[in-house]
Amino acid sequence: MNRRSGIYVWFAKPIRLAILEVLEKKGGRVSEKELKMELKKIYGEASSTVINRILMQLEIDGLIHVDSINPRERIIVRMSKEKKYLSVGED
């Protein structure tokens, strides 16, 4: 839900699906900064806390992988059936 000019606006598309659509549109790889810009176009404003929580859930579900380039920059990669990261102890 977003509040604009005293009016409540409900979004039919969950942010989780919007993130996956952005990844699909950008070729399966996007920086966190680009992702936030795309989500801002759709939702107006999305907090970093909400985005981080959803990214973590998508990574746990095996749909994406988040990789840190440096302490302030992350890359989000859409996982496919060919790509698979092994967890600790699975190698």
pLDDT digits (tens, 9 = 90+) for 61-88: 999 999 999 988 999 999 987 666 655 5
Topology of domain 12-78, CATH: Arc Repressor Mutant, subunit A (1.10.10)
Instruction: Say if residues 39 and 19 touch (Cβ distance below 8 Å).
Output: yes
Position 10 scores a pLDDT of 65
Position 53 scores a pLDDT of 95
Query: What is the DSSP-derived secondary structure letter of residue 87?
Result: P
Query: Residues 15-72: pLDDT tens digits?
Result: 999 999 999 999 999 999 999 999 999 888 888 899 999 999 999 999 999 999 998 8
Q: Distance between CA atoms of 75 and 26, rounded to whole angstroms? A: 12
- CA-closest candidate to residue 14, choices 43, 37, 47: 43
pTM of the predicted structure, to 2 decimals: 0.76
Domain extents in the chain:
12-78
Position 42 scores a pLDDT of 87
